[in-house]
Amino acid sequence: MTEAVILVDHGSRAPEAAASLDEMVGLVQKQRPEILVLAAHMEIAPPSIEEALQQCVTQGARRVTVVPYFLAPGRHIAEDIPALVQTAAARHPQTEVHLAPPLGVHTKLAEVILERLEESTKI
Amino acid sequence: MTEAVILVDHGSRAPEAAASLDEMVGLVQKQRPEILVLAAHMEIAPPSIEEALQQCVTQGARRVTVVPYFLAPGRHIAEDIPALVQTAAARHPQTEVHLAPPLGVHTKLAEVILERLEESTKI
């Protein structure tokens, strides 16, 4: 596959956070079987963005897009992730590296919120 | 309105993060005009969960559901937010307080990711 996507979340000590990201990677992969889709974490847990990019290149990707799996903008989106992507990309000058915006505001997110509302439990 | 929803995110020093949550609150409010929808932050920035719950009660809510505006499970979902909700709820014994799960894994999130992929820029 010549095209790849890296879905990068914050990174957590909680194994269920990484499991959730991996599950999302599986859903995206299913919708785009022609693209290699990998998970990475901004910090705390491996794989890092750099390790995931290396993996993409090893598997033949020529164009890699990093998508921040974050809901909202902030320092991680404006500074930390762009810096990590830039450092990783500098090691692979033959690879075209792109950076996408975070999930941001979207009516589909409002729909998911309304579904979760129905799954609430009493405190 | 006798029913209310509090959408609670992590809280950030970046004003664009709060603006993004407020915009999501607006989208949910639009889809459910019969429910009062308010924003709150787990930490860092006001309003807190307790302040938002107080606001709901003041506006006549009898049943309030807190929805964590987080993508994945982890310590904030398992411990911090439930503890804050419980403390806030204890001050309003006449109000039925519910807690919803976070957004979690959903095909709609995969669809949003694929849209953001198209909005990427070259590093």
ipTM of the complex: 0.95
* Dihedral sign, Cα of residue A8, residue A80, residue B24, residue B71: positive
Cross-strand partners of A4: A36, A64
Mean pLDDT calculated for residue range B6-20: 95
What mean pLDDT is predicted for residues A19-37? 97
- Residues of B carrying an active site annotation: 10
What is the arithmetic mean of pLDDT over A45-62?
97
Phi and psi at B31, nearest 5°, equal -80, -20
Contact (Cβ atoms closer than 8 angstroms) between residue A3 and residue A56: no
| pLDDT tens digits for range B38-84 | 999 999 999 999 999 999 999 999 999 999 999 999 999 999 999 99
- The CA distance from B6 to B39, in Å, is 6
B63, with CB counted inside 10 A (0-12, 13-18, 19+), is middle
- State the pLDDT confidence band at B21, using cuts at 50, 70 and 90: very high
User: What integer pLDDT is reported at residue A1 of this predicted model?
Assistant: 73
Query: How confident is residue B109, by pLDDT bands cut at 50, 70 and 90?
Result: very high
Q: Determine contact, residues B41/B7, Cβ cutoff 8 Å.
A: no
Q: How far is B30 from chain A (nearest CA, A)?
A: 10
Does the structure show a pLDDT above 80 at A122?
yes
B97 vs A96, A102, A123: nearest CB: A123
Which chain B residues have a beta carbon less than 8 Å from that of A70? 71
Residue among A82, A113, A123 minimizing CB distance to B99: A123
| CB-CB neighbors (< 8 A) of A119 in chain B | 100-101
Asked if the model's pLDDT at residue B106 lies above 90, the reply is yes
CA distances in angstroms from B83 to A50, A106, A109, B90, B99, listed in the order given: 36, 29, 25, 11, 11
Q: What percent of chain B shows pLDDT beyond 70?
A: 100
CB contact under 8 A, A116 and B104: yes
Residues A100-121 pLDDT 10s: 999 999 999 999 999 999 999 9
Residue B1's pLDDT is 73
Mean pLDDT over B98-102 rounds to 98
Average model confidence (pLDDT) across chain A: 97
